[in-house]
Structure 1
Amino acid sequence: MSLSTVQLLRDTFATCPFDVLALIFEAACATFIRDSKKLDVDWNAIVTPYSLSRVCKHWRNVTMDTPSLWQYIGVPQSALDADDFSPFVEHVDRLIARSGTGCLDLVIRYTLLDERNACASEDAQIRHNLHFSMLFTKLFPIASRLRTFHVVRNGGLTFDGADSIRDLIVDILCCPTPRLQVLLVDLPTWSNEPKKLWLNFPREELPLFLPEAPALQRVHIADVPIVWLDLHPDLGRLTSLSLEQELMYTHILWDMLYLAPNLLHLSLDFGDVKELRSHPAYPVETLPVTTLVLSRRGSFPLFDAAWRQIALPNLTTIDMESWVLSSMVVTESLAKTVTSIKLEFCYDEDDGRRETFAKLRQLQSIRSAALHYDETLDIDERLLFDSLCSYNGPMWPRLRDFQLTGLRSQRSREQDGMYDLIRMRNMRNSFEYRMFSAIDVEPDTVPDPIKSLKYDTVSVPPKVSARIMNVLGRKNCTVIECGPLGPDSE
């Protein structure tokens, strides 16, 4: 590009109408806020407004007079680790002033330094506590403008009562937040007595969190007792709720669910669940959720008791460990509505596996399934593929998308169960397909062809994978790294 062309472009943008340039700048500074623990601080969103303002006087006027360019408060690790936090506090002051009265998005993600070195880690915690106190002094007056509140700490911290960020979060979330839409607080904390994390409850009453949050849509809380109780206003716009606690009280959980009448996604991960005699629990009768995720042993008493009576008329997706499913009552309604399942097999014996598959066979509407074997028993391979390839009513006849990881063969022969599945459901000239077609079965049990497969080399060896790809095509087969279910495994 010639110098004259560059100069022409500079002159053109230098005289570009204010409104047009403001829209271009908004697109350049835009950041996508997700309620994900993996969301990192967007460095580009931090520096871009400053970069644009330095190009020329016209651009500076546009950036200074466009409040939406200054609404992102990202707190990077480098700022928290710095000896002098004052420059960053001044940056926050500028953002608050230049953003006018608009919404603000706060994103904090940090890691304690060198957890292997106790002294270094303690020094880092002291420094972080001081810096957080300075930061939140600026945030308290503008809490009502927060649209996103996202705080994630990588790595756990042993609870000793000196966790400044926890106390500050508790305090600021007791303020009115009428614009808050996304709330994500994830502070992994280790404690031999999880009840200490509950702000002296039940000896003392919990504060009223989120007293005014009518716009709240998505919430993820981990190891911080941010809850809402029976006297709290309804959270009618809340559609996604994820709770991770070492200890949860039943009456609090039911209150939270009762006050979210339009909840679609529910994820519960509890180490233990307790019921207090002084606080009777009143389970909800119906949950409108379409997606239910359950993890760890704390889910068991819920399912073993009250969950058996809860109606789930809209449930389409379940994500849980196998032993949780084995204790679940699969109603006629669930058998028809659930179309997607993610399941992790662990902590089972042979009888437990058989109970789980008895429940899986009842879910005849499954179209998408992702199975991960955290541990493999001798019966697993045969139990899975005998169920899927049965001539007498195969499991999941509507299955189209299938993911399998962690299934280690316990037999000496080649692992060809997945290939048998494809032969039966996709190869109309195969012996397996002709055998099934020759049997007089109900039309609803004739299986649909598999559309796509995802698997690791543990579950499907390369030789078998090559044969499968010859049938389905490479674009419909994905080899993934062996790992837990979810986005990380893909």
Structure 2
Amino acid sequence: MLRSSLPLPNELVHEIITWACTVPDDLDAQRGKFIKIDRVRERAPFDLGRVCRTWRSITLVTAEIWRYIDVPFLDPYLSTPDVKHVLRRVQLKLDRSRATSVHVVISCLDSRYLELYEPVLALLQEHRVRFRNLVVYAAGINGALLAAKLVAGPTPVLNNLQLICQEVPDDDPFYSDQDHHEVQWVFEANLNFLPNAPVVTSCMIANITVNDSTFMRGDYPKLESFEIGYYVLPPVWKFMSAHHGLRHLSIQLASDLEPRPPPEERPVKLHQLHSLRASETCFSLIGHAVQVFDVPALRELTLITSYLEPDGISPELERFFTQVGMHLTRLDMHGFTVYEMEDVTTLSLLSALQSARFERGYIYPAFFATLSSTTASMWPHLEYLTLDTVSIVDDGQGSYEMLGEDVTLSTMNRVVNLARARATPQSAQRGASAGWKRLFLKIDNHDPTIPTISDAHVALVKLITEAAARGDPIPTFQVEDL
């Protein structure tokens, strides 16, 4: 019996440690994803160094595994990490990463406990020239001010910047217009350093107004991803027009403001744009914003509204669908209305669509009939369909209501028939994809013991069995909350 296991070669140990501790450089920065560092990977250099002396010596000389710095939420009244402990860990990582670039995520700058963060932020400011990715979540006015000061200065290797500020409640007795203007001025003044960050490719600014400033007039030749998580004002339209290399764009609009650029600046030509995410308070107004874009390379479109309206697809949105219909492959609509047959016809303009997601909205029954028809040409290449908490517009009265038992069964049957039609030889003959790859249906607040609902489940199982017997591809059915 061996008294101890054979030691691993140092080269293999080095590869294991590097793999366990490394976070990809982009850190999900594209397409509006908030950056978060996996806490397990963030702690990994310390944990792996405790395995044995050999592993510890290898971790100490491997600078790149110490680049990921996470400053957690600090609260003296909760079981959060001790400030001295956090400061010591940050100092160790800055020292052991040596001259390499660093990735910094500050989880929450809470205005109530800023004195807890000040020593850590002061330490980080000394190393801002090494920032590769910087993400700051700030809560409250003073937290936003402190975050802005953190980014004031040259950052020659900065690749991604995300500043996310929690909005201050209107009833906050300590909040005033003067505070807002101060935050606005400090943010814009400190964002002016970005022209000195020649390699920045991704920028997200959420919940803070960005008006005319040196930052907005700057030129960032490598910028590919831009998210402005607050109202789009005229300088922002100019900024987008000046950066033709954008590939991912996310904008937030407000119905009480002019959502479009002035006529002399239309269309906004973004010929390399791959994905566009636009949110508006009203579905009927979102078309006013997106119709100003000239986006011949667009492949993914996400439209989000917070207020449901039974008005259907606007003429402006229809014109935009006409522009992108031949090449758009993915459509996500949150808070929508497919109210009449005309809306179904408009959606059929998206002839190249491969993935469609509808969440929190109204659907006209003809949508299912058209989509499952073996003779129609609506979305012949569709492979992924998601219906998440939708309502069905009643055929007879033109009214709409949340799905009840009968409507739920009707919806399930429509989906079953739709999937069956997509798996037939006729659908393949008209150029459709060979069956579904994924079909997702979610309906809230229903009892799974209802017999009619169970019957619909049986129909889905039967459909899968029939597809398997024919040797057809079996779609992934996911049915939730029934």
- For normalisation by structure 1, the TM-score amounts to 0.74
1:21-420 pair list within 5 angstroms: 21-32=13-24, 33-35=27-29, 40-55=36-51, 57-77=53-73, 82=80, 84-110=82-108, 125-127=111-113, 129-152=114-137, 161=141, 163-164=142-143, 166-192=144-170, 199=181, 206-207=188-189, 208-225=192-209, 232-245=217-230, 247-249=231-233, 251-271=234-254, 274=257, 282-283=265-266, 285-287=268-270, 288-297=272-281, 303-304=287-288, 307-321=290-304, 326=314, 327-328=316-317, 329-330=319-320, 332-346=322-336, 348=337, 350=339, 353-372=340-359, 374-376=360-362, 380-390=363-373, 393-408=376-391, 412=406, 414-415=409-410, 416-420=413-417
**1:12-39: per-residue Cα shift (whole Å, max 9, x none)?**
55xx3xx665444322322343237565
Residue identity opposite 1:363 in structure 2? L
Residue identity opposite 1:293 in structure 2? R
Matched, 1:455 2:428: no
Work out the CA distance in 1 between the residues paired with 2:126 and 2:350.
52
Which secondary structure state, in structure 2, belongs to the residue aligned with residue 455 of structure 1? strand
Name structure 2 gaps, 5 residues minimum: 306-310, 396-405, 445-452
Q: Mean alpha-carbon deviation: is it higher for 286-295 or for 209-218?
A: 209-218
Change (3 A) 1:303 1:358: same
Deviation at 1:425, TM superposition (A): 3.0
Partner of 1:117: none
Work out the CA distance in 1 between the residues paired with 2:432 and 2:52.
66
Work out the CA distance in 2 between the residues paired with 1:93 and 1:448.
55
- For normalisation by structure 2, the TM-score amounts to 0.75
Residue identity opposite 2:279 in structure 1? S
Residue identity opposite 1:181 in structure 2? N
Q: Mean alpha-carbon deviation: is it higher for 314-323 or for 357-366?
A: 314-323
Deviation at 1:319, TM superposition (A): 1.3
Residue identity opposite 2:23 in structure 1? T
Deviation at 1:282, TM superposition (A): 3.5
Work out the CA distance in 1 between the residues paired with 2:391 and 2:255.
31
Work out the CA distance in 1 between the residues paired with 2:55 and 2:421.
65
**1:277-317: per-residue Cα shift (whole Å, max 9, x none)?**
xx998455311211111112289767426x43431110122
Work out the CA distance in 2 between the residues paired with 1:39 and 1:481.
28
Deviation at 1:238, TM superposition (A): 2.2
Residue identity opposite 1:255 in structure 2? K
Deviation at 1:426, TM superposition (A): 2.0
Work out the CA distance in 2 between the residues paired with 1:333 and 1:131.
52
Which secondary structure state, in structure 1, belongs to the residue aligned with residue 229 of structure 2? strand
Q: Identity rate of aligned residues, in percent?
A: 19
Contact 1:197–1:223 under 8 Å retained in 2: no
Residue identity opposite 1:398 in structure 2? H
Residue identity opposite 2:165 in structure 1? L
Work out the CA distance in 2 between the residues paired with 1:78 and 1:206.
27
Contact 1:79–1:88 under 8 Å retained in 2: no
**1:233-271: per-residue Cα shift (whole Å, max 9, x none)?**
4222222222221x331x222133134321111122234
Deviation at 1:225, TM superposition (A): 4.0
Deviation at 1:361, TM superposition (A): 1.9
Deviation at 1:465, TM superposition (A): 2.2
Which secondary structure state, in structure 2, belongs to the residue aligned with residue 362 of structure 1? coil
Residue identity opposite 1:139 in structure 2? L
Change (3 A) 1:74 1:230: closer
Work out the CA distance in 1 between the residues paired with 2:302 and 2:280.
12
1:435-474 pair list within 5 angstroms: 447-456=432-441, 458=443, 461-473=456-468
Which secondary structure state, in structure 2, belongs to the residue aligned with residue 224 of structure 1? coil
Contact 1:401–1:450 under 8 Å retained in 2: no
Work out the CA distance in 1 between the residues paired with 2:176 and 2:295.
31
Which secondary structure state, in structure 1, belongs to the residue aligned with residue 352 of structure 2? coil
Change (3 A) 1:70 1:79: farther
Which secondary structure state, in structure 2, belongs to the residue aligned with residue 183 of structure 1? strand
Change (3 A) 1:283 1:198: farther
Deviation at 1:84, TM superposition (A): 4.8
Deviation at 1:397, TM superposition (A): 2.5
Which secondary structure state, in structure 1, belongs to the residue aligned with residue 148 of structure 2? helix
Deviation at 1:96, TM superposition (A): 1.5
Change (3 A) 1:84 1:356: same
1:422-441 pair list within 5 angstroms: 422-428=419-425
Work out the CA distance in 2 between the residues paired with 1:135 and 1:283.
46
Contact 1:272–1:298 under 8 Å retained in 2: yes
Which secondary structure state, in structure 1, belongs to the residue aligned with residue 195 of structure 2? coil
Which secondary structure state, in structure 1, belongs to the residue aligned with residue 194 of structure 2? coil
Work out the CA distance in 1 between the residues paired with 2:287 and 2:415.
33
Contact 1:217–1:237 under 8 Å retained in 2: yes
Which secondary structure state, in structure 1, belongs to the residue aligned with residue 367 of structure 2? helix
Work out the CA distance in 1 between the residues paired with 2:160 and 2:313.
30
Deviation at 1:146, TM superposition (A): 0.7
Change (3 A) 1:375 1:398: closer
Work out the CA distance in 2 between the residues paired with 1:333 and 1:280.
19
Q: Mean alpha-carbon deviation: is it higher for 406-415 or for 27-36?
A: 406-415
Change (3 A) 1:211 1:343: same
Residue identity opposite 2:88 in structure 1? E
Change (3 A) 1:321 1:96: closer
Which secondary structure state, in structure 2, belongs to the residue aligned with residue 451 of structure 1? coil
Contact 1:79–1:85 under 8 Å retained in 2: no
